[in-house]
Structure 1
Amino acid sequence: MLSELLQGTDIGGFLLIQDSCTYCGRDLLKSFIEAALNREEVIHVVGFDVSEGELKDGLKSSVFQRLHFHNAFADPLGWTDNSPFTVHQFSSSGLTELLNQTAQSKPATLVIDSLSWILRHVSPTAVCHTLQQLKKGGAVRTIIGLLHEDMHSRGIVGSVCRLATSVITVAPRTKADEGLAKITRRSKSGKVVQDEQIFSIRKDLTVTVLSKPTNFGRKQSNTEEQVDPTANLTFNLRLTDAEREAKEKLALPFVFSTEKKTALLHSGPGSGKILYEPDANDDYDQEDPDDDLDV
């Protein structure tokens, strides 16, 4: 699945790369940039975390004419008057105007490095609204963002992840040159596909998918589910065939058979009745049956 995402099949979507202090996802972000440049796409990078030189390190210099870096690293809050891009310009209209400054025949790919810096100074609601507007507006081909998940609360991370069409969470492996990618991909029909892959990134920023991790925990849980919890009991919870047959033939006391219902509803010749005949001393008024009550 990681190789499919690198091929750029998620057109009109939002790809989110999640990392933490244990594993940096910027090399994988640069691999996506390199793959998009090899497809002759136009890339606009809004850089808050690193400088332009650090971001371009490792990329092919022959494709830099299609890579436009908007420097928000030098002055992200706009304390000077000559800042190319500030965090306050992070809006649908501001980014669309930024992309239109470069003449291009087709929508470009927008790379945000990183969303964590923006979320520290802009409300999460405004950030999610901007990303949603960019997805619907058609100004960009694809949005690729980097998010440092350990810098935010679970609610903020969850809101951004639910907005993304594909989420890649990277984690370290035992080998220094390997990483673990936990991928969640949502299709337009609403289907969610999850996968885990071990990968490595070469010096030329090409990604090699090595294998899938061995899920020891999942195998262990399946083994535990197969254990019979009634194996070591001192009494038997199961019935034999003869006991089950006898149980099915047993008539329950609160279940009336057809014969019993007929006997109760239709009285036979030997049934008794109570007859009452008032005598002359009974003071009974037909018009007022309750006349004898002291009310």
Structure 2
Amino acid sequence: RRKHVYSCSYSGQHLLKSFISAALNKEEAVHVLGFDVSEEELKDGLTASTQRLHFHSAYTDPLGWTNRTAFTVHQFCVEELTHLLKQTSHPKPVTLVIDSLSWILRHVSPPAVCKTLQQLKKGGAVRAVIGLLHADMHQRGTVGSVCHLATSVITVAPGTKGDEAVAKITKRSKSGKVMQDEEIFSIKGDFSVTVVSKTSHAGHRQTEPEEHQTDPTANLTFNIRLSDTEREAKEKLALPFVFSKEKSDFFSVTTSNICCFSFFLFNFF
């Protein structure tokens, strides 16, 4: 599951079309919940076959005031979405694109949205969810809750050149491991993505210069260091809590046997 987070300084529509085009080129079925742009604008420029692209328009009436749209924000629940996806026959799970999730979050409570996304993830009818989210429109807690469900979060910003953009990518594996990358990319006329450069931030640490270490015993009025003769006498001294060689050998063998015995009992049970 992927969520793509954008800010007002950079439009996410071109990158969203890149994901749609890539899915269509793989002969996958794509269902789009369209709130931000019309069907004509979304399909404009797509060179891939759009026969497997199903657009459910909520662009003209997202709240269902006129009852003339194919989809509204109030239909964003797992029952309605499952019914919508089953209207078209495809042998494999489809890719669901939400353009944009911000419309839904403005009119449906964030817990209900997160619950629906989680149910879609477990239902099996959807192979992947790609959601466009305008992060500037929502509180930080709402954005964090939605993105926590995602396996990948991409935050984009304008680059130094006119045709380039910067993508900060956070990937979360099933084990909980988080990887962060940063890519500079550009989008061609056919909506294919070209990565200009890539930097990984996983495990990166900034090294600091070593500080000068002072000797804390330098200015003492008494000596705390041992001479060679004193050290030799100390090593020959038999302390009261130290076992003799015979006892040391006995406890070493016994402890070793107990550890092995416990080990086999653990595996046996």
What is the match of residue 31 of structure 1?
A: 18
Question: How far off its partner does 1:248 sit?
Answer: 4.6
Question: How far off its partner does 1:191 sit?
Answer: 1.4
Q: What SS does the corresponding residue of 1:205 show, helix, strand or coil?
A: coil
Of residues 26, 34, 41 in structure 2, which corresponds to 1:54? Answer: 41
Question: How far off its partner does 1:26 sit?
Answer: 1.4
Q: What SS does the corresponding residue of 2:131 show, helix, strand or coil?
A: strand
Question: How far off its partner does 1:238 sit?
Answer: 2.4
Alignment length (residue pairs)? 225
Of residues 96, 118, 121 in structure 2, which corresponds to 1:135? Answer: 121
The one-letter amino acid of 1:172's match is P
Question: How far off its partner does 1:214 sit?
Answer: 11
| 2:165 and 2:184 in contact (8 A); partners too | yes
Unaligned runs of 5+ in 1: 1-13, 231-235, 250-295
Rate the CA distance shift 1:214–1:182 in 2: closer, same or farther, 3 A.
closer
What is the match of residue 18 of structure 1?
A: 5
What is the match of residue 247 of structure 1?
A: 224
Rate the CA distance shift 1:141–1:80 in 2: closer, same or farther, 3 A.
same
Distance 2:188 2:113 in 1: 33
Distance 1:59 1:129 in 2: 32
Of residues 50, 55, 61 in structure 2, which corresponds to 1:75? Answer: 61
| 2:154 and 2:169 in contact (8 A); partners too | yes
Rate the CA distance shift 1:237–1:18 in 2: closer, same or farther, 3 A.
same
Return the index of the structure with the highest Cα Rg.
1
What is the match of residue 237 of structure 1?
A: 214
The one-letter amino acid of 1:237's match is T
Question: How far off its partner does 1:189 sit?
Answer: 1.8
Distance 1:26 1:33 in 2: 10
What is the match of residue 123 of structure 1?
A: 109
Residues 181-232 of structure 1 show CA distances to partners (whole Å, capped at 9, x for unaligned) of 10011111221111001000001100000013699xx89x64xx2163x5xx
Q: What SS does the corresponding residue of 2:107 show, helix, strand or coil?
A: coil
The one-letter amino acid of 1:106's match is K
Q: How does 1:93-172 map to 2 (within 5 A)?
A: 93-172=79-158
Question: TM-score, normalised to structure 2's length?
Answer: 0.78
Distance 1:189 1:127 in 2: 24
What is the match of residue 161 of structure 2?
A: 175
Distance 1:54 1:246 in 2: 85
Q: What SS does the corresponding residue of 1:64 show, helix, strand or coil?
A: coil
Distance 2:133 2:99 in 1: 8
% identical aligned pairs: 64
Q: What SS does the corresponding residue of 1:212 show, helix, strand or coil?
A: strand
The one-letter amino acid of 1:34's match is S
Question: TM-score, normalised to structure 1's length?
Answer: 0.71
Q: What SS does the corresponding residue of 1:65 show, helix, strand or coil?
A: coil
What is the match of residue 42 of structure 1?
A: 29
Question: How far off its partner does 1:25 sit?
Answer: 1.4
Question: How far off its partner does 1:133 sit?
Answer: 0.2
Q: What SS does the corresponding residue of 1:247 show, helix, strand or coil?
A: coil
The one-letter amino acid of 2:90's match is Q
Distance 2:225 2:102 in 1: 66
Rate the CA distance shift 1:247–1:54 in 2: closer, same or farther, 3 A.
farther
Unaligned runs of 5+ in 2: 227-269
Distance 2:62 2:198 in 1: 40
Of residues 218, 221, 226 in structure 1, which corresponds to 2:209? Answer: 226
Distance 1:168 1:199 in 2: 12
What is the match of residue 280 of structure 1?
A: none
